[in-house]
Structure 1
Amino acid sequence: MPEQPRLRFAYVAGVTPGKWIRRWEERMPHVPLQSFMCDDAAQLEVLRDGSADLSFVRLPVDRDGLHVIPLYEEQPGVVAPKGHEISVFEEVALEDLAEEYFLDVAEMGGPEMALQVVASGAGLVILPMPVARHFNVKDTVARRLTGAVGTEIGLAWPSDSTSEVIEEFIGIVRGRTAQSSRQPSARQEKPKKSPPADRRGGARAGAGKKPAVAQRYAPNPDKGRGKGSRKKGRR
């Protein structure tokens, strides 16, 4: 018995896959879709160990054995303790923070732990704004940061496991419509409609008869009379 198709994908913090999930459920309701969030450190591991078929990753990544397509860039941000002077601005330039102490997110054990340390007043961190909004740690303030290198989100999957189900999901993420010829679901041959049956139950009335031809000219009143039959008037 063939295995029921399904699709599993992972995503890092800051990615909001809700719109893609909704489109999948509208177009492919017969194929279950499972999703889960993973740490940046595990964004490729979930593909290597088979936990996920695709993964929304934060670039750059090691592309060996993978297909990777860039999707969009993330706005960089800076997070400081509540009450810090950056809270009075909508965005901050990196050069204006030269005197600040910045924490290393990796050394802190990831963004969530780093934000907890920031809340204690130990320093600031630079993170993608979607990540800062996702965790939204109490007693911290996040602002857009200019002059810093941004990050980019991409979609990755093993190069040896491309299937029609995976292609369908990639098309949805890239914004293709359901009618796009590049979508596997749209390429499937649709059954041809048979002509409607004749419900009259018999031959058409008058079938076999020659159609009447309209008489083009009026009949000649003199037709059929002998020669000289025309009446002569008096001279």
Structure 2
Amino acid sequence: MTGPAETPSFRLVYVPGVTPDKWLRVWNERHRDTPLTLLQAPAAEARDLLAGGGADAGLVRLPVDRAVLSAIPLYTEQTVVVVPKDHLVTAVDEVCPQDLADDIVLHPLDDVLDWERGLPGRPALERPATTADAIELVAAGIGVLVVPLSLARLHHRKDLTHRPLKDAPESRVALSWPEAATTDHVEDFIGIVRGRTVNSTRGRAQSQAGTREKPTGRKTGTGKAGTGKAGAKGAGARRASGAPKGARRGKPRGRS
């Protein structure tokens, strides 16, 4: 005797800081028979999970391996520096890297920013294991932390604040999925993220694009006065050249 068949689901992995709630609600409205299973994973693990087939699609941070994964960039996040509320930079609305020259800038092992030109400020003796650990060190007055805005909000504390950091690398968030597994459910989720309505799927849009109405032609006249250019012209000519009804035509006779 076999057990009941498992209900198929759509597995979506997402990285910390990304909030898929609005897309989840739309999915549940349109796919009541296919539940969406959410999986949260650090940025590097989320990409590996997708590449290994552990998820059907993901909201991840770029870059991804384009030889294995497809990706649609969604948005670029603002970069901020997280500091204690009594830090000097809280006196300004925006911070430059030079403003952090005397600060220890923490660099967690799970950092999602690409620091090709190096971090501003002074390096810490050790790198924190996670962004959450680095936040605790900032609260303890050990240093400051540069992260995407969403991560600053995710790890919000009453004793900390943040300011935008100019001339810093930024993190881009994308919808990604395995190149070799672009399923109908993946296409449906792409449509949801892009804001398509339930009746405007990609397949239906292509079908509609290939169907054109036959030209109906343009009528130039039906023989009735005023229904076409020719008819209007003819009627106007008759009215302009015609005499009152009953009048005699021809040249008037001279008087005798």
TM-score w.r.t. length of structure 1 = 0.72
Which one of 2, 20, 43 corresponds to residue 23 of structure 2? 20
CA gap of 1:89–1:116, structure 2 versus 1, over 3 A, is same
Distance in 1 (alpha carbons) for counterparts of 2:204 and 2:189: 10
Gapped regions of structure 2 (runs ≥ 5): 110-126, 208-256
Which one of 104, 108, 131 corresponds to residue 105 of structure 1? 108
Gapped regions of structure 1 (runs ≥ 5): 188-235
Larger radius of gyration: 1
Of 94-103 and 77-86, the range deviating more from structure 2? 94-103
Q: Percent identity?
A: 41
CA gap of 1:25–1:70, structure 2 versus 1, over 3 A, is same
Q: Once the 2 structures are TM-superposed, how far is the Cα of residue 70 of structure 1 from its aligned partner?
A: 0.8
How many residues get paired? 187
Determine whether 1:114 maps to 2:117.
no
Which one of 181, 185, 192 corresponds to residue 172 of structure 1? 192
Q: Once the 2 structures are TM-superposed, how far is the Cα of residue 183 of structure 1 from its aligned partner?
A: 5.8
Alignment of 1:186-225 (within 5 A): none
- Per-residue CA deviation, residues 143-166 of structure 1 (Å, 9 max, x unaligned), is 222221211001111111111011
CA RMSD, 1 decimal:
2.3
Which one of 86, 92, 105 corresponds to residue 83 of structure 1? 86
Q: Once the 2 structures are TM-superposed, how far is the Cα of residue 22 of structure 1 from its aligned partner?
A: 0.9
Hey, which of these two has a bigger chunk of helix by percent?
A: 2
CA gap of 1:30–1:184, structure 2 versus 1, over 3 A, is farther
Of 35-44 and 12-21, the range deviating more from structure 2? 35-44
- Tell me the secondary structure at the aligned position of residue 53 of structure 2: coil
Q: Once the 2 structures are TM-superposed, how far is the Cα of residue 2 of structure 1 from its aligned partner?
A: 7.8
Report if aligned partners of 1:168, 1:184 keep a CA contact under 8 Å in 2: no
Which one of 159, 168, 182 corresponds to residue 162 of structure 1? 182
Distance in 2 (alpha carbons) for counterparts of 1:11 and 1:137: 23
Distance in 2 (alpha carbons) for counterparts of 1:28 and 1:183: 17
TM-score w.r.t. length of structure 2 = 0.66
Report if aligned partners of 1:79, 1:127 keep a CA contact under 8 Å in 2: yes
**Aligned AA (1:70):** P
- Tell me the secondary structure at the aligned position of residue 165 of structure 2: strand
Distance in 2 (alpha carbons) for counterparts of 1:46 and 1:105: 21
Of 24-33 and 42-51, the range deviating more from structure 2? 42-51
- Per-residue CA deviation, residues 109-130 of structure 1 (Å, 9 max, x unaligned), is 1211111111111111110011
Distance in 1 (alpha carbons) for counterparts of 2:203 and 2:13: 22
